[in-house]
Structure 1
Amino acid sequence: MTNYLHSLYLQIISEGTLYKKEFDEIAKNPGDYNTNLLLNLLHSNASTEFGQLHNFASITSVEQYKNSMPITGYDNYEPYIKRMIQEQQDNLLTSYPIRHYMESSGTQGTAKYLPLSNPSKEIIHTLSKQLFSRIYELIGDNWTYHKLLLLIVPADKTLNEYADRNSLSTELFIGIFEENMSDFVVSPMLAYEKGRIVDTQYLHAMFALLDENMCSIFSPFMSFILEFIHYVNNNKEMLIQNIEMGIIDDSINISKEDCATLLSTIKPNKERAAQLREIFEVYPTSWPKKVWPNLELILSTCSGSFLECTDVVRTYVGNEVNILGLGFGSSECVFSMPVELNQNDAVLLPHTGFFEFLPLGENDYTKTLTLDEIEIGKDYEILVTTISGLYRYQMRDAVTVTGTYLNTPKIQFSHRIDQTVNIFGEKTSELLLRKIVYDMASENGLSIHNFSVYPDTTSAPMRYVFFIEFSDDALHISTKQMQESMEKKLRGANFLYDLFASSGKLAPLEIHILQKNSYINYKQNLLNEGKNISQIKPVRIISSAKIKDFFLKHVEHKNEKLTELIMN
């Protein structure tokens, strides 16, 4: 650690401490603050085109807002956003000029662009620095202030000459480091430059292994960290040999110019190579803490669909390494921020948007609750009115209230009410999965009884795995042909899935053909366990190891092999 890097850490911690004190004052009286935020937003946006349409000027209370403003989704804003991006029109959704957009994947995979005002962007950056302050408060001087591993996917920031686009994860982490990013990260900056022809996994792994003092791993999604661990496991011999010889491997996809630049920063390191060989031999499944003795912290999203990845990562790093969840955030809004180590919940942020909570099972959206009305232990659908021009926006996300911080509720993301498969943020919806499965069957004259899918985060690369039970007695196409057909459809329908598949982060999907009556047997098992038949829903997206194991035991191995043999 250099004195300069140490001073950078202390500077961010100092700034973050001021923001933390401001937030703690808000957290003492969150209900009033959140209500006042809503009324101020309605007042300041009353003259916008959207505000005039919905008569914001006449709304003076939360109840009036709930009764007069309908629930909205992206379709309600898309025409306005197109005008904002393509024609640089202002004062449509918000009085703030909008030049920044958060990119997100839509239900059918079409890109959505959510407006990001400068005040919202600044809030994200202050939250980033608060994170550093909280880490210091929670870990203290055990956090050694060395370089860290930052695993993010670089984004093309340009939409057109008027607007740029980014992701929440990039804004969050760039907000921490700003122009000093190269001083904080172990990886070369080449790994973060969009448009470069380069194997970023190799760069992250190679340069992380070289730096035995690395103290933290930061990533927006825990699946990125698990993928990194898988990559090191599968390529450790090559990586160690490259470290020993001070070379960039010939198999790596990289330009000659970039390779020369990297080679100028490394040299043969036989001592480190020998040390790594011994560690991997002695500690084959618990090597991270041995490779990086100063590794003290992992910062990432670890709730919801990332719980399984978090559990697997924990088996590698052990209990000595702290995991700080990033809380609940989306392209629309940052909803919560962590305040405790090794927990999956986080405190609500009353200053980032106005929040409404609908008890699960309730369908009347005039009966939403404010954040000072929700109860610990209960589940709610969350709606948001943002600082950037979204009003009573519905994302179909469910949260559980877990406790309080000062007087503000803590929440944990529970699930998507409209389920998705989400390994790297691609958010493939159940609707889209159903479409590609049934389109494949229809095109090949097949009849499907039922299907399920789960994200296989234990394979390297990770992939989608489908279980399909056909009604047909015989299949006239091979499993391989089905897989290729569905993979093509999925990549064509979800641009983020295609991005991750093209870069090698996601392996091609896999299909297991189920024995006849597998789903009938599954339902019968639940009935035998005492489940009410009215509570048994179709198993589309598998979220538990128990359900996955049930279907794995019902795979028709003989039929699969016979079909492959006949077709080949």
Structure 2
Amino acid sequence: MGEKEYLVSVITPFHNTKIEFFKRGYDSLKRQTLGFKNIEWVVVVHNSDDSYADAVQKLTKEDDNVKIYILNNDKRTPSSPRNYALTKAQGKYIAFLDSDDFFTDDGLKEVVEGMEETEADIASFRAETLPEDETVIQAIDTRARFDQTVHMLEFKKGDEKLNDLIYAGGLTIWSKLIRRDFLSKYNIGFSLDMKYGEDVCFSMECLGKAKKIIILPQTIVYVYFMNHGSLAQDMNHTPESLLKLASDFANIFDVTVKGGFKLEKLAWPVLGYLAEMMAITPGLDDEFRKRIYDLMHKYFGILGPLEPDAKFFNAQMAEHFMKRARMIILGEEDNDEMAKSSLLPILLANADTEYGQRYGFGSIHKVVDYQKKVPLSDYSMYRPLIKLMTRIGESNLICKEKVVAYSSKLCPDGGEFLVPQTAPFVSVYQNVLIEELKAARYSTFLAIESAGESGTIRFNDGALLHSVADTVLAGIRKSDIYNSHARSTENKYGTITAPESVLFKNPGEDLRYAKLLFALADPDVSQIIVPFTVNILDMVRFLKCMWEMLVEDIASGRVSEVSGLAEGRRKELSKLLKPSKRRAKELRTIFEQGFENVLPKIWKNLDLIISAGSGENAVYSRQIMKYIGSVPLDYGYLGIAEGIIGKVSAPGENTYIIMEKDSFLEFLPEDSDKDKTFIASELEISKHYEVIISNMAGLYRYRSGIIVEATKIQDGQTYVRYCYDRKDVVTVSGVSINTLSLRQAGKKIDEEAGMITYDYCLFANDKKNCFELFLKPEKEGNYSAKLVQEIAEKELSKVIPSYGRARKAGKIDKIRIHFLPSADADIVKGKAPKPIRIIHASSDEKLFKTYRLYEV
């Protein structure tokens, strides 16, 4: 008996996809009006954990027309499994389905009917997008350029109108049905050498060789699921990956030209994207720029201008793509700083908002015009507008995109400012986190948590009250990262140790025990990601107090009552924790020997810790060194609720490279009484500046309060050091102390008083006309308040001349010194310590009284 003849072979490469997503695609095939038995589904499980292969086979075992193949090799793109599937497929036509996408019920039948009627080699149809949630940005534009008023368009090879397909959204393989004998005749397959755009290259080769092509403008066949982990949303590159991107783009351009198609509508947006990535990729030196230039420059010679149209590019956007690509890729000089910055996309996107119309965003063509027309702003200017948005539901006031959340921020006036977040804005943070997770060799201990939606305020415009961390974690909640314990060691990269629910707490809940428990249970952690170094210190303090209970729980495979979790949550997590007496024994031996260099002892594969450690966290960064050993400490990103300012220059460094991802940054001299700002390339070394942010979420020339010091400008990149936040400046009788000056004085106090400061807080006491400094030493000791007072007076007068003058004139009294119980006193076996609160400067009298309770 011969092989069954199928009408369509659907090819699916599968790599560690959530089974619930895969099942959705499976169910859509069974609902096809073409008839499921007329479809052959060829699934290639590629480099996946055994548990996934088992689940796929179990799900589909009843259907003879579902062919499951296991393929393990050193390839990291879908090209290899797709090529393998092409050698196994038996259908008359080939369709492609990604493992988390699905088909519409009537889709395949309509396309097959069109192919049968016309005997075409290729059919191109429509796809809709399904975002995982409202914070996912539209990674690909599936709108069309061709005539959509007819059911079917038919073209022969060489037809000029086929050029309407030659753009990124028209070249996806999942919007095509292709004759299998056509692919065999021309031996068309996917390039194994390409990392980016191998599917576009495949489509271009097919279109270039096809004798007849049909387009079905009204037939929606495919549903493309956009999640936060998609490669399509990858906006983070290294110089090496950017060079590979350029090389793969060159391959696509060559195939396009060889096929006889016009290049402009595909190439200019692609070159514009490449230019944007070059502008924000750290470490892209002259050698890499030269190599990218060598790959790309020939195409500029054959490209005509990008013609604007009513749907995709207006004249201003088209000009921006071309100018920016020439300037950054070819190195052409241009005195217009706007073309070099991310400002133009921000203004174009928000020109029709009420704020944009008031200040004429649509008529601004130069940075200098923006600085003249749009005033500097702060939280007080936005509060009335955000009140209208949150309480009445107004929209289009400050940003075109829908606001999905607001984060609450304390302002210098003591009031609250709700910082708006839109999907494009949040996606920058989400991509940063996803990229860091993907870069790990094995699993990641992600010590971040979210309030979730339990008890969260939802405003009248539909947005939630969420921190940026809340929104980022909510965005990746459905992605497949929460399963390191379910995978073998070699497949743990991109996963985290905590079960999903451990990152989303209920009001009043402390999840430190649960997060640490699951992290300790996984011996394959190669990376730790925590927001700040204070969180690492807090984690070690918690471990010192609770390690015996944690080890017992790992041995028995349960989450005990001492965890402090609600009963339902505790039982749920107990089901996920596998007992391991061997791991418990390893950990017990480590902890009984002490906590010096404890983290690399716990996790022998630990090779990176990512945690912000400058500024207010500097005191904690110094203290954690004795726990992390030689493991590199990477300060990650300098980011605030209003935007990301920079990326750390290298692990172990406390300087950041200015990075403008969907934000435009200006810099205002620290003590200037004028509004004259500078762009990053204009900064004066060793001078202090306040960061001014314009972003996609509706803030324009916004004074962030963040003060940085310019440290160097090299290879077109500006390096800065974080100094302090203006909200942390305290004042008594006209004399102000910022936390940078306080840290400088504190360093001298430690050196000269023979102590190690564990934590500190400076209070501005207006009633007593003085500052009061509370010091928490690491260890108990006979410290002299008088000596510390003398050192503090001397150093503060040195770093803050106005303090010294005020003291001489008798305008303020001497600083008062108080010692709090030592950090060692906080360690009580079996009792979870309170989390560390970062409050290093305050004039809040209630907080002051709280600190005085601990005075000795």
Normalising by the residue count of structure 1, what TM-score does the alignment of the two structures yield?
0.70
Kept in 2: contact 1:469–1:518 (CA 8 A): no
TM superposition shift of 1:172: 4.8
Structure 1 residues 316 and 16: alpha-carbon distance in aligned structure 2, compared to 1, 3 A threshold? farther
- Alignment identity in percent? 22
Change (3 A) 1:551 1:112: same
Residue 467 of structure 1, CA deviation: 9.5
- 3-state DSSP class of the match of 1:315? helix
Q: Return the alpha-carbon distance in structure 2 between the equivalents of residues 413 and 111 of structure 1.
A: 23
State how far apart, in whole Å, the 2-side matches of 1:224 and 1:38 are.
35
Indicate which of 297, 320, 337 corresponds to 1:32. 337
In 2, Cα distance between equivalents of 1:378 and 1:260: 56
Q: Superposition pairs for residues 274-423 of structure 1, below 5 Å?
A: 274-319=585-630, 321-365=631-675, 367-404=676-713, 406-419=715-728
**How far is the alpha carbon of 1:198 from its aligned partner?**
4.4
Question: How much does 1:18 deviate?
Answer: 6.3
CA deviations on 1:279-333 (whole Å, 9 max, x unpaired) are 11224322111111111111121111111212222220112x1222122111111
Q: 1:518 to 1:389 in 2, by over 3 A?
A: same
Matched residue, 2:562: 251
Q: Does 1:261 align with 2:572?
A: yes
Answer whether contact 1:34 1:353 (CA < 8 A) is retained: no
Q: Which amino acid aligns with 1:163?
A: A
Once residues 768 and 516 of structure 2 are traced to their aligned partners in structure 1, the CA distance between those partners, rounded to angstroms, is 46
* Matched residue type, 1:325: Y
Instruction: Tell me the amino acid that sits aligned with residue 551 of structure 1.
Output: I
Deviation at 1:129, TM superposition (A): 4.2
2:794 pairs with 1:525: yes
Contact persistence 1:191–1:198 (CA under 8 A): no
- Identify the residue that residue 218 of structure 2 maps to in structure 1: none
Letter of the 1:291 partner, please give it.
I
Alpha-carbon contact 1:296-1:322 (below 8 Å) kept: yes
- 2:443 counterpart residue number: 146
Q: Describe the superposition over 1:43-98 as per-residue Cα deviations: whole angstroms up to 9, x where unpaired.
A: 55344222333344554432333234322111111111122222322221123332
Which residue in the other structure is 1:216 paired with?
527
> Are residue 91 (structure 1) and residue 344 (structure 2) matched?
no
Q: CA, structure 1 residues 406+196, in 2 after alignment: closer, same or farther (shift >3 Å)? A: same
Q: What's 1:241 paired with?
A: 552
Partner Cα distance (2:799, 2:379) in 1: 37
Structure 1 residue 389: deviation in Å?
1.3
Deviation string 1:126-168 (CA, Å, 9 cap, x unpaired) is 33345457xx4xxxxxx53234333334344552361123323
2:375 counterpart (56, 64, 70): 70
Q: In structure 1, the residue corresponding to 2:817 is in which secondary structure?
A: helix
CA distance in 2, matches of 1:175, 1:348: 26
* Alpha carbons of structure 1 residues 410 and 155: separation in structure 2 relative to 1, 3 Å: farther
**Is the partner of 2:480 in helix, strand or coil?**
helix
Q: Which residue identity lines up with residue 200 of structure 1 in the other structure?
A: L
- Find the residue that maps to 1:314 and give its secondary structure: helix
Q: Normalising by structure 2, what TM-score?
A: 0.48
**2:278 alignment partner AA:** E
C-alpha contact 1:378 1:400 (8 A) present in aligned 2: yes
What is the rounded CA distance, in whole Å, between the counterparts of 2:364 and 2:446 in structure 1? 48
Distance 1:276 1:323 in 2: 23
2:459 to 147, 154, 160: 160
- CA offsets, 1:180-203, max 9 Å, x none? 231222123232223266431110
**Structure 2 unpaired stretches of 5+:** 1-15, 17-46, 51-71, 78-228, 243-273, 285-326, 329-335, 484-494, 735-745, 750-755, 775-783, 808-813, 822-851
Closer, same or farther: CA 388–515 of 1 in aligned 2, 3 Å = same
Q: Is the 8 A contact 1:152 1:219 kept in 2?
A: no
In 2: Cα distance, 1:342 partner to 1:151 partner? 21
Q: Aligned pair in 2 of structure 1 residues 171, 43: CA closer, same or farther (>3 Å)?
A: same
Query: Structure 1 residues 356 and 240 mapped into 2: Cα distance closer, same or farther (>3 Å)?
Result: same
Aligned residue number for residue 225 of structure 1: 536
- Counterpart CA distance in 1 for 2:408 and 2:432 is 20
Q: Partners of 1:363 and 1:14 in 2: how far apart?
A: 46
Change (3 A) 1:531 1:69: closer
Whole-angstrom distance in 1 between the partners of 2:792 and 2:611:
36
| Residue identity opposite 2:446 in structure 1 | L
Among 393, 397, 407, which residue is 1:102 paired with?
407
Paired amino acid for 2:468: L
Q: Which of 474, 481, 503 is 1:192 aligned to?
A: 503
Q: Is the 8 A contact 2:690 2:708 kept in 1?
A: yes
1:167 is matched by which residue type in structure 2?
Answer: S
Q: 1:249 to 1:130 in 2, by over 3 A?
A: closer
- Greater CA deviation, 174-183 or 298-307? 174-183
Q: Taking structure 1 as reference, are residues 4 and 412 closer, same or farther at Cα in structure 2, changes over 3 Å only?
A: farther
Q: Counterpart of 1:251 in 2: which secondary structure?
A: helix
Q: Which has the higher contact order (CA 8 A, sep 6+)?
A: 1
* Change in 2 beyond 3 A, CA 1:89/1:218: same
Deviation at 1:99, TM superposition (A): 3.1
Long gaps (5+) in structure 1: 137-142, 421-429, 435-451, 473-482, 484-513, 540-546, 556-562
- Contact 1:103–1:113 (CA<8 Å) still a contact in 2? yes
* Match 2:469 to one of 169, 173, 187: 169
Q: Classify the secondary structure of the residue corresponding to 1:380.
A: strand
- Residue 155 to residue 313, structure 1, CA distance change in 2 (3 Å): farther
Alpha carbons of structure 1 residues 239 and 538: separation in structure 2 relative to 1, 3 Å: farther
On the 8 A contact 1:355/1:383 being kept in 2, the answer is: yes
For the residue of structure 2 that corresponds to 1:335, the secondary structure is strand
Counterpart AA for 1:85: T
> Whose helix fraction is larger, Structure 1's or Structure 2's?
1
In structure 1, C-alpha distance between the alignment counterparts of 2:806 and 2:541, rounded to whole Å: 32
2:529–2:610 CA contact under 8 A, matched in 1:
yes
Q: What secondary structure is seen at the aligned counterpart in 1 of 2:723?
A: strand
Quote how far apart the aligned CAs of 1:355 are: 1.3
Structure 1 residue 532: deviation in Å?
Answer: 7.9
* CA apart distance, 1:225: 1.8
Measured at CA, do residues 17 and 87 of structure 1 come closer, stay the same or move farther in structure 2, by a change above 3 Å?
closer
- Give the aligned length: 466
Change (3 A) 1:405 1:190: farther
Is the 1:216–1:295 Cα contact (8 Å) retained in structure 2? yes
Contact 1:302 1:310 in 2 (8 A): yes
Does 2:809 match 1:551?
A: no
Question: For residue 480 of structure 2, what is the aligned residue in structure 1?
Answer: 180
Q: 3-state SS of the aligned residue for 2:537?
A: helix
Is the contact made by 2:527 and 2:609 (CA closer than 8 Å) also made in structure 1?
yes
1:16 and 1:130 in contact (8 A); partners too: no
How many Å apart are 1:235 and its aligned residue?
Answer: 1.3
Max radius of gyration: which structure?
2
- C-alpha distance in 1, partners of 2:653/2:474? 24
Offset of residue 394 of structure 1: 0.8
